[in-house]
Structure 1
Amino acid sequence: MRDSCRRRIIAQIIGDADPQLCVAFFEPPVNLSQVLAELGTLPFLAPRRAVVVRNADDFVEQHREDLEKYLQKPSPTASLVLMVDKWSKVFRLSKLVAKIGEVCECSIGERENLVGRVNDLAKSRGKKIASPAAAALLENVGRDLAALDNEMEKLALYTGQRPSISIEDVQAVTTPGRQLSDWALQNAVTNSNARAALNALASSLRTRGDEFRVLGSLAAHIRRAIKGKNAALAGEDPAGVLPFNMPFQAKRDFLNLLNRRSLSKFNDDARRLIAGDLALKSGAKAPGALAELVVALCN
């Protein structure tokens, strides 16, 4: 959720500009003079610059007075983004931020009802999800927003042209056993292991409709790879795109994949996925069409 807020704020600052040209990131220990120098640098091919300080709690504590002075006359061409774990509203700095900027709360309360967020995820894909289906999805996936987004992507592809997602759809796509088989297929593709990918595919195609669940799983994998690669190219941590429930070794292998594969290759994968989707919807036999797709993705 924090990464989602950061991406939204940066997009508001720089618009459609290239992040590599107009976004600067800092990790602790952070030098105040370097941050101020970045804020004073004119934007290049962008309306504004964004200067992001990650894990900024110590930075804020050490330079509170200097930051207060800066915010009284901030740069007209740059915005400062502070990512902190705690933010007290009683300090003058907090009041200045609230007056001229924005405070984005990224935590999820333990008792917060996430059904509304599930509805928003469905709506963003042009779908409606029934209340029992949303409850079942939360029960199967848990409170990890990245994992919920991942499973909603599968559900959107699984349901095709249907406008609504039912509890039967959720049970078909997101049961724990299904998720294990999805990880097996994604891991095989990640490691370019065509033999393992074909075996995982064969075990995943058990009942009618499984082909679209598998397609959704591959779509989630490719979309995650493109987001992760773009994050890495922008100087961000690509691990931020990974769902919480992703196995440790799978995370490690995925990050290695991002290091060795170019963005253009991932875009080629997306085009292969679209071709596979069209083939299935045009009447191609699922086992053959999907086998051809996963072998291509492993190359």
Structure 2
Amino acid sequence: MGRLVKKGHSVAEQVRRGEIAPVYCLYGEEEYRREQVLNQLLDALLTASERDLNLDQIRPGDGERQSILGSARTLPFLARRRVVLIRGVEELSKEQQEELLAYLNDPSPTSCLVLTGKRLDLRTRLAAALQKKGMLLRFDRMEADTLKEALLATAKEQGTRLQPDAIDLLMALVGDDVRQLMYNVEKVALFVGEREEISAKDVEALVGETRVRSIFQLTDAVSGRDLDVALRCLTSLLESGEEPLAIIGMLARQIRLLVQAKTLQEQSATAGRMTHAFGGLPPRVVAALAKQSASRSWRQLSGALQSLSGADLAIKTGRAAAPVILTGLVWDLCLA
């Protein structure tokens, strides 16, 4: 069995206590928390001065790939250990997986492997070996209630409180991108200064009335398949300096809302039950989601989610200019 984090201790704390596994695998859709724990783990494994000569970062899809086995077998230089960080565990080729399996049968006592990525197929031999020899840390996307609690905690750390309507508006504007939400909570906390509470008006004032309008119009236009309005809103957001990945986050949230609405419809949910399930959204918005989801098939919604995932990856890897990618995405979402 893979080792688990003991209650009351983070994985970084375990490392500092000398409880170090030969391999760690951090995976899951929640990138913000995954990267946060990854940075804490790396800080515990290596000091800042040790990183330059003892941290190898490998991306499986790189053209000139570095040997994982060769890096892991290299002795540390003026440090107690060497760390090999492999980003994109889901991109490992069969050859690389076999290489890792061979290494895990006899891991180096002076090296630590750290793997991270969005997905890990738990049915594979590699996943079984990772669980047996080391530690698996899974980071699922936060549910709405958990996400709200995290936002409240972040605001408290900043010395202020978030009013419920402020949270609802922030999530409506930003979506469920945890990184963007936390960043905006910190930003609005600075905006209100010494005031003890953050209101919805503060959130609206921070992001700007034009942006608020454009965001709602974009998501509504995409849900309603109004291509002309959606493209105009997209142009407005980009010209105002909106982050492309934040726009994808907003659109992804809207498509997930349509998926949720369609699921509830197929369960013959009443209007009251649907409104309760969408806690925080006005009844008129829930009614619109129900109408819009009814006009889309499950195949179309699945295709929309795939288009969003593809656009997200294309922007992160720089395959094309973000405006071009987003324009193509909006076309796909409206015409699907």
TM-score, normalised to structure 1, is 0.51
Residue 6 of structure 1 aligns with an amino acid whose one-letter code is: L
Change (3 A) 1:121 1:109: closer
Task: Answer yes or no: is the 8 Å Cα contact 2:68–2:96 preserved in 1.
Answer: no
Counterpart of 2:137 in 1: which secondary structure? coil
Map 1:88-99 onto structure 2 (within 5 A).
88-99=121-132
Map 1:203-222 onto structure 2 (within 5 A).
none
Residue 137 (structure 1) shift: 1.0
Change (3 A) 1:46 1:62: same
**Offset from partner CA, 1:119-155 (integer Å, 9 cap, x none):** 2432443443233322221012112223213312211
**Offset from partner CA, 1:181-221 (integer Å, 9 cap, x none):** 9987879xxxxxxxxxxxxxxxxxxxxxxxxxxxxxxxxxx
State the distance in 1 between where 2:148 and 2:136 align. Answer: 24
The Cα RMSD (Å) is 4.1
Task: Answer yes or no: is the 8 Å Cα contact 1:137–1:174 preserved in 2.
Answer: no
Counterpart of 1:104 in 2: which secondary structure? strand
Matched, 1:170 2:203: yes
Matched, 1:138 2:144: no
- In the other structure, the counterpart of 2:155 is 122
Task: Answer yes or no: is the 8 Å Cα contact 1:5–1:104 preserved in 2.
Answer: no
- In the other structure, the counterpart of 1:21 is 53
Counterpart of 1:87 in 2: which secondary structure? coil
- In the other structure, the counterpart of 1:248 is 322
More divergent stretch after superposition (94-103 vs 70-79):
94-103
* Identity among equivalent pairs (%): 28
Task: Answer yes or no: is the 8 Å Cα contact 1:24–1:52 preserved in 2.
Answer: yes
State the distance in 2 between where 1:160 and 1:184 align. Answer: 29
Residue 117 of structure 1 aligns with an amino acid whose one-letter code is: A
Task: Answer yes or no: is the 8 Å Cα contact 2:160–2:198 preserved in 1.
Answer: yes
- In the other structure, the counterpart of 1:68 is 101
State the distance in 2 between where 1:45 and 1:96 align. Answer: 30
- Structure 1: segments with no counterpart, 5+ residues: 188-238, 241-246, 250-299
- In the other structure, the counterpart of 1:10 is 42
Counterpart of 1:38 in 2: which secondary structure? helix
- In the other structure, the counterpart of 1:155 is 188
Residue 38 of structure 2 aligns with an amino acid whose one-letter code is: R
Residue 143 of structure 1 aligns with an amino acid whose one-letter code is: D
State the distance in 2 between where 1:65 and 1:116 align. Answer: 42
TM-score, normalised to structure 2, is 0.46
Residue 14 (structure 1) shift: 1.8
Change (3 A) 1:85 1:62: farther
Instruction: Give the length in aligned residue pairs.
Output: 197
- In the other structure, the counterpart of 1:42 is 75
Residue 122 of structure 1 aligns with an amino acid whose one-letter code is: A
